[in-house]
Structure 1
């Protein structure tokens, strides 16, 4: 037998450490090559690490929720020895093991150990679907939602590749009555202690840092979107079947792209340590998206080059990938300004937190019919508030008001969204 140390691989883009989100194996498991070992998280993206060898798991490097450095031991696996004359695919070294409770002295020598670094698989990779027998196959996001709903994934038959359980499978199971909820009036005495880890911990750290370091101020403006909604309805009636249905969000994206031409200071990143403000010509628009694990911000790269339907399709694709936990790192980074919306829950006014190091965030509140004074009478109009926040270190109040007023003008006369000047 030969022992192999599986190292935490380098995920790239300067990532020095990751957090163990979930183990797919435990000590004593017999595993196959390419079988998933663990799901790990970088700043925002979740990736899955498969085993480069088949064998028996002797040890795992850390418990779930632990932050691990790249290059640290992820797992130790015992594999069958090689035949005489056959070379090992990796250099074999003599590993040294220490027993924490043993007296200090000459270390005990173990069997030869080969050090390997597996290749990270995206959550949607076919190789990542080869997991332990009888263990449900699902993304970390689906597993987290199942835990929240107190549902055993073993009860659900997955419709995805290799039996992978998707969010749709889980939703259908819940709608069919499969849940663990009892009487509404039953006495409840349980207490759940939840370790804050993974994406939720990252969100907490980023929000606290943004509120601590950024001089936030918010500005709210009311927008009459009656004509915009008429245009949207007309376009959907004519083109939804062939080009896809449009929500209001692609129009907001287009208005933002046009307004940024006159207000480039809003499309910028501020490096506080270097005291440098970097303005971008490209509009890389983050779209805040609620997922089962928490808020994520997939990025609509080069939104300035997209028409309404291209933007709509990309928004849907990115939001789906974020919710399923399959979004790639490059799809979750690189934004220059962010849009956030609570959809139908959007309320009247919000005060969004800036997605640092950006200097502005545009908040969309829900559309509602409100009476407006027009031609000496009140008339029903479809109204929407924009609740936006700015970094007062870089953006003055007058600039913010003028910027939002420009977006308001574009949305209230939607034909101007498509006029090139």
Structure 2
């Protein structure tokens, strides 16, 4: 059993990164357009961030067994700090595209970074099988609550511009500097992890071997879901709302604050559902109606109806996050968990990396919201495939019952 002090550090680091991701995902399209870029360029940079994060996450996950987890987490924190400084200092498209590829910037509301497989591997060792889903729910809840607060912080440049009479673009650049500073704080949190805990946890992780087939099957399924999700990363939903309803940053931040809260508390419900109905059933039968709501959003005649469906979707769509993470960690051996977390998490970046480019193009030629329709349709197909393929592989706690 892991000492609670390390678990607390993981939750603090997750929360801080989520806060930064929460405001960056909303500021990114506005900031890039203030630099003279259009929806297509915004989509291209979102694609670059996801592609780069996916590639780096895959490399780290497959080779994590060669290094101490803490060393890799410290290196990722330094990269996060450099990413924030890079976006604050550079204003041209092509250099920013390079920073997006090699950095840690996240245009979505969830964590798709290199931190993910490392923290999942550590978190899965902190609890017994029966409590694992609850631990992942707590981890996800922390991220969603802080991401929701981060969404409200996206309005700070607007307030600074009106109250302090500062240039709005400069205020947005300072928010990217803050993103970098948060990366350094995360590094300090990892740095202070007790050495004895590191030695206890470093029970020589290994590359995939006996779990390779099921992990690759899950990776293929998750890649389909992620491809659909790439059409509706938070930066692009925000861009669609800006275009369709001419929203201010303050209103957009408030909307995503509430959707974030709905997502956060859904994690607690997910634990109860998983215990009663099973992990796979919980993943599918909460995700499916959420995706139907997503398809319907562009057809709503008013902003109020669109917000209502987005909130309803948020209340259901993220229940599969802790259950999916718990399921992957459950069906592989402990020494394969870092590699399994990476191989199944990477599609969230790689498969979704192409989608924002198409979504940006669609939004450049039409404000209707075709990316939301396409995303929801693809995700419905994923849900049905997941149900058919994974019901036959229950986790240990469900086999025992």
TM-score by length of 1: 0.22
* Greater RCO (Cα-Cα under 8 Å, separation 6 or more): 2
Bigger fraction of residues in helix: 2
Structure number with larger C-alpha Rg: 1
TM-score by length of 2: 0.23
Bigger fraction of residues in strand: 1
